Amino acid sequence: MPTFTAFTTLETKARAGALGDAMERLRPEPTGVGVFEIEDGSGLWEVGGYFTESPDEAGLAVLAAAFGARPFAVSELPETDWVAKVRRELAPVVAGRFFVHGSHDADKVPATAEPLLIEAAMAFGTGHHGTTLGCLSALDRLASGGFVGRNVADIGCGTAVLAMGAARIWPGTVLASDIDEVAVDVAEANVKANGLEGRVICLEAAGFGHPDLAARAPYDLVFANILKAPLVDLAPDMGASIAPGGHAILSGILNEQADEVVAAYDAAGFDMHTREEIGEWTTLTLTRR
């Protein structure tokens, strides 16, 4: 079955959201619509839809004009078995002691490594992205330096690969939360596949907005691999939720955005511990004063 995409950009969140809502009413209707801030400092928002039939390009043109958006770019995607493709192209990833792999590479896990199984169908969060790799490397550095995380949370956990990494090397229970219900389901499936049931508890929550997260504070380590804007918004809660001497490992930050995040966390009571760039992405390890 062919898949078609239609994408455009515009300048305000409100108009982008309204355009996304209007796209839902198109015929043929899209199978999914997304609205995202483009994290390149441009201030633009991207609106896109996926269709199993060729979309109504005249209707899209009317919507673009009505909401002040650029003309939609419509494309037909080639028919591809994406899981098979990912399995072929995504080699295992090594981040310090951690070996992130799919089940098709289970026989390649070194005897001395801490294995983390993430299936190919769940590509973001496999460790190949610079943000996830940076966070796992930061975790490995802290542990190698003698730090032991006894009370750990992963905010915006996605696949829960970071929470599972912490649970692999330290005792205790790690809390992993995400605002998205589907992400929580994926995280729970990964926890089970890695034999970490009862060691990583997955919660649906925005930020620290869950009673179980509040009850466990203060933490000695919190991961947040999300995006610059929510990281800045989260800084005061991070300051209130991490114990003095504890750490925050942050990513989802473009290199040119890192100074703004550092400034927000300095104001919330954090000092720089380490800063690493992998490609266009920065990972920050900060220490609570």
Q: pLDDT tens across 249-280, in order?
A: 999 898 999 999 999 999 999 999 999 998 88
**254 in Cβ contact with 40 (< 8 Å):** yes
Structure tokens at 70: 């650029």
pTM equals 0.71
The neighbour count for residue 38, using CB atoms within 10 Å, is 11
Long-range pairs for 98-101: beta carbons < 8 A, 24 or more residues apart: 98/127, 98/136, 98/139, 98/140, 98/165, 98/168, 100/126, 100/127, 100/136, 100/161
The predicted structure's pLDDT at residue 122: 45
Stretch 134-148: mean pLDDT, rounded? Answer: 97
> Could you give the angle at the alpha carbon of 91 between the alpha carbons of 159 and 185, nearest 5°?
15
> Could you give the angle at the alpha carbon of 35 between the alpha carbons of 30 and 41, nearest 5°?
150
Cα atoms found within 13 Å of the Cα of residue 184, Cβ hemisphere only = 14
> Could you give the angle at the alpha carbon of 246 between the alpha carbons of 125 and 183, nearest 5°?
25
**187 in Cβ contact with 202 (< 8 Å):** yes
Q: SS3 of 244, please?
A: strand
- The 3-state DSSP composition of the chain as helix, strand, coil percent (nearest 5) reads 35, 30, 35
Tens of pLDDT, residue by residue over 43-96, are 889 999 988 889 999 999 999 999 999 999 998 876 655 555 555 545 788 899
Tens of pLDDT, residue by residue over 196-233, are 999 999 999 999 999 999 999 999 999 999 889 899 99
Mean pLDDT of the chain: 89
Tens of pLDDT, residue by residue over 102-124, are 777 888 899 999 999 986 544 34
The neighbour count for residue 92, using CB atoms within 10 Å, is 20
Structure tokens at 136: 């796992």
C-alpha distances in angstroms, 82 versus 49, 75, 88, 101, 121?
18, 17, 10, 17, 8
Contacts of residue 192, Cβ cutoff 8 Å, sequence gap at least 6: none
Q: SS3 of 258, please?
A: helix
Stretch 236-246: mean pLDDT, rounded? Answer: 98
Q: 4-13, 66-75, 127-136: lowest mean pLDDT where? A: 127-136
